[in-house]
Chains A and B, each alone.
Chain A
Amino acid sequence: MAFHARPRQALAIAGAIGLALAATACGTGSNDKGGSSNAGSAECAPYEKYQGHDGKKVSIYSSIREIEADRLDQSWKQFEECTGIDINHEGSGEFEAQLPVRADGGNAPDIAFIPQPGLLQRFAERGQIKAASAETKAMAEENYPADWLKYSTVGGTFYGAPLGSNVKSFVWYSPKMFQEKGWTVPTTWDEMIKLSDTIADSGVKPWCAGIESQDATGWPATDWIEDVLLRTQGPEVYDQWTTHEIPFNDSRIAEAVDRAGTILKNEKYVNGGFGGVRSIATTAFQEAGVPITQGKCALHRQASFYANQWPSGTRVAEDGDVFAFYFPAIDPAKGKPVLGGGEFVVAFSDRPEVQAVQTYLASGEHANSRAKIGDWVSANKKLDLANVANPIDKLSVEILQDEKSVFRFDGSDLMPAAVGAGTFWKGMVDWINGKDTATVLQGIEGSWK
């Protein structure tokens, strides 16, 4: 988007871009057809164990769309050609609301990629999803850390392996700006606060944030709370909180919320490039970090997938226009907590070809096949770091594969949807909009039955 300064050329360039897009799309199309359909060839050797389902169809439903969906399609192309299984993937922005309707209506897809363990649990309790096959389970246990697998295990039954992942414990910044101003990347909470003060004194509001996300408005603020809680109280208390063993308005939770508030509700710190504290509520999360590129803000806490949200032309690299650092620990005794998310591959059908696809998606072959295409992170242990090109993805995979990391799944996705995707989100919006911590937490606690 660097060309709008030259309006007369904009039109011509827009046309050219359109052509280029068409050309690349054609390119991938013809490449796809180049693959071999010979199941006995050498390239098909890794798919030997999935044979025997030629001509069968498997439908997949997920929230993954557009380019990301194209990349997924491409990632299992080889598998399809070697096994003869036809995978039909459909992505929808209305996934979370549509999936239960389809399942209740008897029209469930064969496989769904569910990003919320809470939703997965609901389907499991109602007996709508099938337990994973022994092969899938073995594959998952071999390739994924136990921390991850417990999120798709309900009542002792394992339902499916994770697929993609993301790391949420990141703070985005501009390496260029930091270098110019002589700021250094903080490695502890106190350093981060000190840095914030320095930046604020220089006349720039240090933090920018935005929690508007259409019908999911509020979630970025819940990530803040979760990240802070994981750092002040450690994983045990975090687990008790997400499973409602301790009340939502426990003093330890309130303390974490207030600590997040020392940044998010501090008029001195926020909201760089947008206005005051309350503008956080109406700023789209996709736009929230953009002021960093304009020098109007210096720090933005958001997950690894925010790499895709920067204006085109922004270089994401350790020495580029923007990059991210690990959201620093508060209490060194609590280890290196990592907050993240991801989706789980669960099946609504136990047909053998569906199970074969489910097993394949848990394999290292798929993880590497997908990673090679670009922009992808997974907790799969078989994932070869050499296949991950993008620097932020590389950093994420390193963190996920780091033995010292204590991984915890996004808490709001673990809670019942009425809380995790309902009152918690709404409560955070009210909290940003001026309500006090105690009232907000009490309200959320009251809604959790």
Chain B
Amino acid sequence: MNFDFADQAPKLMMLLWGLVAFAVVVGGLLVLLDAVPAFFARRREAQLVAASVSGAPLPRRTKPREGLFALFFLLPTVLLLLIGLVVPAIRTTLLSFMDSSSQNWVGLDNYRWMFAEDAIVRVLLNTLVWVTLVPLVATAMGLLYAVLVDKARLESLAKSLIFMPMAISFVGASIIWRFVYAYRGEDQEQIGLLNQIVVSLGGEPRQWLLDSPLNTLLLIVIMVWIQAGFAMVVLSAAIKAIPSDIIEAARLDGVNPWQMFRQITLPSIRPALIVVVVTISIATLKVFDIVRTATNGNYDTSVIANEMYNQAFRYGENGQGSALAVFLFVLVVPIVIFQIRNLRQQRREG
């Protein structure tokens, strides 16, 4: 049982190798990109000199090959994404047209199943509720808090409190909240905070997670609890970045805090706001640990990602699981379109 440090040596060696590999790959890439153009530049200079000496016509100036450069900058990312995400995405799409053993083509059967089964339709609806409420509420809470504690005393402590849930895994967070929602019979002492509050106000304890649709909202609270920290941190940084002269000018104009917020703060932090909403929306679409840990999708609380995991991993229904995953891809399309419009706008302004 004694802790043997020698056992750890291979791991630390491996870490060292990893860090060396990191230095070689990243450093090497940068040096390469620096050295090679310099080499060509020197050669071209030499050519120019030679040409001017011999009186031959000057070689045509080659265009800066930005495309080639960009390729090298993008190479590691694109390669890794191809292997790690693009191939799996294509595979998933193909599997969604095949049966559970991934051996026979079944056409659109899996998609038909998705919309025919009442339980699955319910799952799709729940996901819509999640993806509407979570980004909205989490961002609003984060923004409100960021504005409230801005320049307040003990600001960093106050922020740490809200950020803390971010540091807890989804599973851990769900456990914490299951503890809050815990139920004991009327004749017993409550161990869950929520029921204790209800009881002390003279109510009867409830089994919070059993009653639909309230239970979905209670699960959403968990996600909001986690993501508000993310929203708060990013938005708070954006608020601090608003140039102080603008704020001073506005203050001299005698605007009230609400006008200040509407006319100065909100427009200034728009880019950060978009990052937050988009990130939380995508995280919400993909969330499955919360539902899995808190209710396991029972009592009409399941969402697409959870159902996908069940179908593909627990039930061995690869086709149906994949179809649900593809539906997730489809749900993100509006966000992608929004992002394209954003990018265009940004390019125009820039």
Do the two chains touch directly in the complex (Cβ atoms below 8 Å apart)? yes
Interface contact B1-A426, CB-CB below 8 Å? no
Q: Is A373 an interface residue (CB 8 A)?
A: no
Q: Mark A305-326, 1 if CB is under 8 A from B, else 0.
A: 0000000000000000000000
Interface contact B101-A125, CB-CB below 8 Å? yes
Q: Select which of A101, A276, A279, A416 is within 8 A of B315 by beta carbon.
A: A416
Q: Is A145 an interface residue (CB 8 A)?
A: no
Please give, as numbers and ranges, the residues of chain B lying within 8 Å of A443 by CB-CB distance: 119
Interface contact B317-A276, CB-CB below 8 Å? no
Interface contact B315-A417, CB-CB below 8 Å? yes
Interchain CA distance A92-B119 in the complex, whole Å: 30
Q: Mark A409-424, 1 if CB is under 8 A from B, else 0.
A: 0000000111001100
Please give, as numbers and ranges, the residues of chain A lying within 8 Å of B184 by CB-CB distance: 274-275
Please give, as numbers and ranges, the residues of chain A lying within 8 Å of B293 by CB-CB distance: 214
Would you give the shortest CB distance from B173 to chain A, in whole angstroms?
A: 15
Interface contact A100-B313, CB-CB below 8 Å? yes
| Known contacts A29-B1, A433-B299; A276 and B314 CB within 8 A of each other | no
Please give, as numbers and ranges, the residues of chain B lying within 8 Å of A217 by CB-CB distance: 296, 298
Interface contact B317-A22, CB-CB below 8 Å? no
Q: Is A66 an interface residue (CB 8 A)?
A: no
Which 10 pairs show the lowest CB-CB distances between chains A and B? A275-B185, A418-B315, A97-B313, A417-B315, A429-B298, A25-B1, A215-B296, A217-B296, A422-B315, A26-B1
Q: Is B183 an interface residue (CB 8 A)?
A: yes
Chain B residues touching A, range: 20 to 34
29 residue pairs of the A-B complex, CB under 8 angstroms, read: A22-B1, A29-B1, A96-B314, A97-B314, A126-B101, A214-B293, A214-B296, A217-B296, A274-B185, A275-B188, A278-B207, A278-B210, A279-B183, A279-B185, A281-B210, A281-B299, A282-B183, A282-B207, A282-B209, A417-B315, A417-B316, A422-B315, A426-B298, A429-B298, A429-B299, A430-B298, A433-B210, A446-B117, A447-B117
Name the CB-closest residue of A to B310.
A422
Q: Is B311 an interface residue (CB 8 A)?
A: yes
Name the CB-closest residue of A to B100.
A418
Would you give the shortest CB distance from B118 to chain A, in whole angstroms?
A: 8
Q: Is A122 an interface residue (CB 8 A)?
A: yes
Chain A stretch 429-444: residues in CB contact (< 8 A) with chain B: 429-430, 433, 443
Would you give the shortest CB distance from A430 to chain B, in whole angstroms?
A: 8
Please give, as numbers and ranges, the residues of chain A lying within 8 Å of B316 by CB-CB distance: 100, 119, 122, 416-418
Name the CB-closest residue of A to B317.
A418
**Given A97-B309, A278-B207, 16 additional A-B pairs, CB 8 A:** A97-B313, A101-B313, A215-B296, A217-B296, A274-B185, A275-B183, A279-B207, A281-B299, A282-B183, A417-B315, A418-B315, A418-B316, A426-B298, A430-B298, A433-B299, A446-B117
Chain B stretch 184-229: residues in CB contact (< 8 A) with chain A: 184-186, 188, 207, 209-210
Interface contact A418-B311, CB-CB below 8 Å? yes
Interface centre among B184, B299, B315 (most CB of A within 10 A): B315
Interface contact B210-A421, CB-CB below 8 Å? no
Please give, as numbers and ranges, the residues of chain B lying within 8 Å of A215 by CB-CB distance: 292, 296, 314
Please give, as numbers and ranges, the residues of chain B lying within 8 Å of A218 by CB-CB distance: 298
Interchain CA distance A22-B3 in the complex, whole Å: 12
Please give, as numbers and ranges, the residues of chain A lying within 8 Å of B315 by CB-CB distance: 416-418, 421-422
Chain A stretch 223-282: residues in CB contact (< 8 A) with chain B: 271, 273-276, 278-279, 281-282
Chain B stretch 96-144: residues in CB contact (< 8 A) with chain A: 101, 117, 119
Would you give the shortest CB distance from A432 to chain B, in whole angstroms?
A: 10
Name the CB-closest residue of B to A122.
B316
Interchain CA distance A443-B299 in the complex, whole Å: 14
Interchain CA distance A172-B292 in the complex, whole Å: 30
Please give, as numbers and ranges, the residues of chain B lying within 8 Å of A282 by CB-CB distance: 183, 207, 209-210
Interface contact A422-B313, CB-CB below 8 Å? no
| Known contacts A214-B296, A282-B207; A421 and B314 CB within 8 A of each other | yes
Q: Select which of B185, B292, B298, B309 is within 8 A of A276 by beta carbon.
A: B185
Name the CB-closest residue of B to A434.
B210
Chain B stretch 278-324: residues in CB contact (< 8 A) with chain A: 292-293, 296-299, 309-311, 313-317
Interface centre among B186, B207, B299, B314 (most CB of A within 10 A): B314
Would you give the shortest CB distance from B306 to chain A, in whole angstroms?
A: 9
Would you give the shortest CB distance from B296 to chain A, in whole angstroms?
A: 5
| Known contacts A25-B1, A26-B1, A421-B315; A275 and B210 CB within 8 A of each other | no
Would you give the shortest CB distance from A204 to chain B, in whole angstroms?
A: 12
Please give, as numbers and ranges, the residues of chain B lying within 8 Å of A125 by CB-CB distance: 101
Q: Mark B1-33, 1 if CB is under 8 A from A, else 0.
A: 100000000000000000000000000000000
Please give, as numbers and ranges, the residues of chain A lying within 8 Å of B313 by CB-CB distance: 97, 100-101
Would you give the shortest CB distance from B211 to chain A, in whole angstroms?
A: 9
Interchain CA distance A26-B188 in the complex, whole Å: 43
Name the CB-closest residue of A to B295.
A217
Name the CB-closest residue of B to A421.
B314
Name the CB-closest residue of A to B183.
A282
Would you give the shortest CB distance from B132 to chain A, in whole angstroms?
A: 25
